[in-house]
Structure 1
Amino acid sequence: MKINVMLVSKLEKNIKVMKNFIEDEEIHIVGDSTTGSVALDKIENLMPDIIIMTLGTGDNDVLSLAERVFLHRPRTHVILLAEYIDVEILQSAIAIGVHNVREFPASSKEFAEYIKSVYHNENSRIKALNEKQNLSWMSRVVTVFGAKGGLGKTTIAVNLAVKLAQSNKKVALVDLDLQFGDIHIFLDIDPSDTISELVQEFFTSNIDSVRSFMTVHSSGIHILSSPKSPEYAEIISAEKIQSLLSLLRTYYDYVVIDTPPFFTEVTLTALESSSTILFVTGLDISILKNSKVSLSLLDSLQQTDKIRLIVNRAVDMSSITINDVQSILGCPIWAKIPSDYKVAVTALNRGIPFVLSNPGSKLSQSIEDVARLLLDGEGENSEKKGNLFPVNPQEKVKIGKLKSFLKKEKK
């Protein structure tokens, strides 16, 4: 899918600068023009998806053209670029209905990601208006967690995020495996910024500032990648993660979080901030042992009403069956993901989620089922009935001290 872009500026040098900054195979420059009637004729003939205009203080002709496009071509979206942004420029843009205003980009990759973000967001808005959908204003945080590495948590998180985005939802995918997260590999992206740059450079209450550190995937999901090196995990505190998730909920319909296979202060914060915890387990005794302990801990933290148990690679074996899992863990199975090594590994090696590359596979169908359950509200908290994961009083005291222990260890 190509995004057709037209460039408009009174100065030829600005058009050259913009052309040099657009180096992305998904973005196609269909033409350029100065302002005035010539620009209007080209817009009518070329029908671009996005028009990028340069704007300076007092450029009334640029604002007039932008306003005409906004009023008469609602499917063509306008981006205004300025060498610097001041109050006057922002007020002028808002007055004509244009809200995609930014300074000249620092890199071509940043510029391409911004163009894609505008394209996907504006198209989602237009689609929602046309379909007269019943909108849900309650954002949902879905955390994928498992008690051992190699369970397929990242595979589920990535494909689920893409599937939710296909349902016309604004989706953020956050990699909180801060030492060895690899969501970017599953999606074949090379993020210029990660969560460590976000918390180091600045942390504001402005969602646009946070989004500038995210990478936009062609599926429409926005990714906040894990740090590029494990030592940066130390600078990311639970308090900052809590603030970040609260901020993301103001903009995205779904925030999908991938986590490491162990409890940290950051992981506990994500779990407590979640609407739904997709707890992934498997069919071997080691995984089930770790899962049992982890479920007991989550019960002591009063999180069991959020848990939805998923059995990954759900193929009955001679020693342990799927029914055994439910009996051992004392928790109903919410969803089952079949085993298909070839489809999963091929998708990973290509960097294309299998819900896109192989939508007809059983794996893709199972992820679609999980997405549908979440969209239908079946992943929401339900009233807790009894103590699903009983622990003795001594164990509960130990677990209750976990947060304090983690804080001391971090110091």
Structure 2
Amino acid sequence: MTTRILPAVGDADAARSVTTLLSQLPDAEPVGPVGDSTSLIDTLARLAAESLDELPEVVLVHERIGPVPALELIREVALRFPAVGVVLVTGDTSPGLYSAAMDSGARGLVGLPLSYEELAQRVQSAAGWSSGVRRHLGHGGDSPTGPGGTVVAVTGAKGGVGTTVTAVQLALAACASGHSTALADLDLQSGDVASYLDVRFRRSVVDLATIQDISPRVLQDAMFAHPSGLALLLAPADGERGEEVTDRSVRQILSALRTRYEVVVVDCGTHMDTANAAAVEMADTALLVVTPDVVAVRAAKRMVRLWDRLQIRKAEETLTVVNRQVRSTEIQPPLVQKVTGTRVARTTVPAHFKELQSVVDAGRMHDLEAKSTVKQALWALAAELGLVRAPDGEPRAGTRLRGDRGSVGLRRGRHR
């Protein structure tokens, strides 16, 4: 079988050297090298949009790539294109860098100066892994045909601001418009998605936390098929088990979800730990829900600063949603934007809790009436985010359905 190899090398001399050696490998089909991280991601996205089979089996990332550093680029490729085997080419072959490369998603490391035997071995191993993943993803005839669906992380500035209601209604809106939609509850200690949607299900996100290779069948077994059409991945019934879900497992879980669903909405709750922080970091869109009061706005500001210090996400990359908005309050969306430094959604959600009380008490949020002003506002927000499919099949408004954001490590992250 021919192995297609795409080198990503920032230095012209190094690119020639790598390409020459690759051309000598048996059954290898080197593709013209790309010179920077942006070109690599754009090339892979274009190929993936055509078909999974168009992607190269192996990508070589040289340590001199830029502007995104090599490890961060590897992480982005591994998350967005999980069927591609990535190999790092570097002069530093220390155990520390090897471990960091593996944590980022690399399938191998080749030292400089290049050795034919080592390069052949690493490429062959990565290609074999890639072929196995593609066979696995192709099981049942429903392999992904693109870089994956969009991920929306919904976080509350503090408890009680309406985080779960927002997440549930966004997911219901996307599902009702025809998108295959998953709703994941990563409020690991006190998630309420099951209660809001009248679900009793033994499996949870914890069942996926220790699995290294999440196949479509394993993922399906952990999901609950809700009558509304949503696929639910629930928080554990026993909150202490949430500690079993790590940031690494969240990245694997969300990567698996986005290959299977067009829209993935994640309820991150209000308590930040490494697991839901990883979800915020991976998300194409991060929503921060706030109510128009001093305590909530201050909490939102603290949350944004926390994300900034941990290099999870910049303030300007965060979209704040004002919930329970009333015209008489002094705290209006422009003030929230000024205080938090975030962008504020054009859509605000009115303070009409009486509309919600009966469905919340019954645990049937999916039965909220269409005439509800709260539902209308949240579905309008879904349209603003581009989660609602227009009659012609395109997103109705807002951002593109498939985001271009990648992901970086929680502690080794970078500002974008």
Question: Fold conserved (TM > 0.5)?
Answer: yes
SS at match of 2:249: helix
Q: Deviations over 1:343-370 (max 9, x none)?
A: 122121122225x431111111111111
Runs ≥4 in structure 1, deviation > 6 angstroms?
381-384
SS at match of 1:336: coil
User: 1:180 aligned to 2:200?
Assistant: no
Deviation at 1:325, TM superposition (A): 2.2
Deviation at 1:332, TM superposition (A): 3.6
Alignment of 1:387-402 (within 5 A): none
2:159 corresponds, among 149, 169, 177, to: 149
Separation in 2 of the partners of 1:307 and 1:330? Answer: 9
Q: Is the 8 A contact 2:155 2:270 kept in 1?
A: yes
Tell me the amino acid that sits aligned with residue 338 of structure 1: P
Separation in 2 of the partners of 1:383 and 1:328? Answer: 27
Q: Deviations over 1:372-394 (max 9, x none)?
A: 1222362459999xxxxxxxxxx
Separation in 2 of the partners of 1:288 and 1:327? Answer: 11
Identity %: 27
User: 1:343 aligned to 2:333?
Assistant: no
User: 1:378 aligned to 2:388?
Assistant: no
SS at match of 2:260: coil
Deviation at 1:231, TM superposition (A): 1.2
Deviation at 1:241, TM superposition (A): 0.8
2:215 corresponds, among 183, 206, 215, to: 206
User: 1:160 aligned to 2:170?
Assistant: yes
User: 1:333 aligned to 2:353?
Assistant: no
Separation in 2 of the partners of 1:318 and 1:271? Answer: 30
What's the counterpart of residue 16 of structure 2? none
Q: CA 1:324/1:337 → structure 2, altered by over 3 Å: closer, same or farther?
A: same
RMSD, matched Cα: 3.1
Q: Normalised by the size of structure 1, how large is the TM-score?
A: 0.57
Deviation at 1:329, TM superposition (A): 2.4
What's the counterpart of residue 139 of structure 1? 149
Separation in 1 of the partners of 2:378 and 2:302? Answer: 26
2:292 corresponds, among 283, 291, 301, to: 283
Tell me the amino acid that sits aligned with residue 337 of structure 2: Q
Separation in 2 of the partners of 1:336 and 1:278? Answer: 13
Q: Is the 8 A contact 1:173 1:255 kept in 2?
A: yes
Tell me the amino acid that sits aligned with residue 378 of structure 1: G
Q: Normalised by the size of structure 2, how large is the TM-score?
A: 0.57
2:248 corresponds, among 220, 230, 239, to: 239
Deviation at 1:252, TM superposition (A): 0.4
Q: CA 1:402/1:284 → structure 2, altered by over 3 Å: closer, same or farther?
A: farther
362-371 vs 304-313, greater mean Cα deviation: 304-313
Q: CA 1:229/1:383 → structure 2, altered by over 3 Å: closer, same or farther?
A: closer
SS at match of 2:182: strand
Q: Deviations over 1:223-251 (max 9, x none)?
A: 01101111101111111111111111111
Q: Is the 8 A contact 1:275 1:306 kept in 2?
A: no
Q: State which structure, 1 or 2, has the greater radius of gyration over its C-alpha atoms.
A: 1
What's the counterpart of residue 277 of structure 2? 268
Tell me the amino acid that sits aligned with residue 296 of structure 1: R
Separation in 2 of the partners of 1:307 and 1:337? Answer: 18
